[in-house]
Amino acid sequence: MSVRTLERWRSESLSSPARERGWTAASRLDAVLTTAALDEASRNAWCRENGVYPQELAAWREAATQALADPEDVRATPQQTKADRRRIKELEREVRRKDKALAETTALLVLSKKLEAIFPKGEDA
């Protein structure tokens, strides 16, 4: 393969429009908004100029619609919020109880070690 062929391929790839360039989320949204009001023929012409398939443009539009619709769907109802608060209080109460039990166990262990240090098990009095 000649050097001239490689140089030609490189220049063609660098001069190609948007096909090789990465489309950011903002540029995809801009493309969707730009082509929203166009008829099918104009939209196809825009796609050819910018190196985008019409199917990609439709997928970007669907993704934007989905992203805008999701926050309302995942909002909690007042009943769920009330149940969540109740569950949080129960869990916090359980954590406090377990912390107290752990502190008591730790204190007993420390006391038993101190007692063993004062009165070793191996010695008879």
The predicted-structure confidence for 69-114, as pLDDT tens digits, reads as follows 766 566 778 888 999 999 999 999 999 999 999 999 999 999 999 9
Nearest to 30 by CA among 57, 67, 70: 57
Percent of the chain with pLDDT over 70: 86
What is the pLDDT, as a whole number, of residue 72?
58
Q: What angle do CA 29, 34, 35 make, to 5 degrees?
A: 100
Which band of pLDDT confidence, cut at 50, 70 and 90, is reported for residue 60? very high
What is the pLDDT, as a whole number, of residue 17?
55
Which band of pLDDT confidence, cut at 50, 70 and 90, is reported for residue 20? very low
pLDDT of 117 above 50: yes
Alpha helix ranges (H) inside the chain? 3-15, 25-36, 40-50, 54-73, 78-118
pLDDT of 6 above 90: no
Residue 18 has a CB neighbour count (10 Å cut-off) of 14
What is the pLDDT, as a whole number, of residue 14?
64
Domain boundaries, the chain: 3-75, 87-125
Q: Pull the structure tokens for residue 116.
A: 């063993």
Q: How long a stretch of residues is the chain?
A: 125
What is the pLDDT, as a whole number, of residue 101?
97
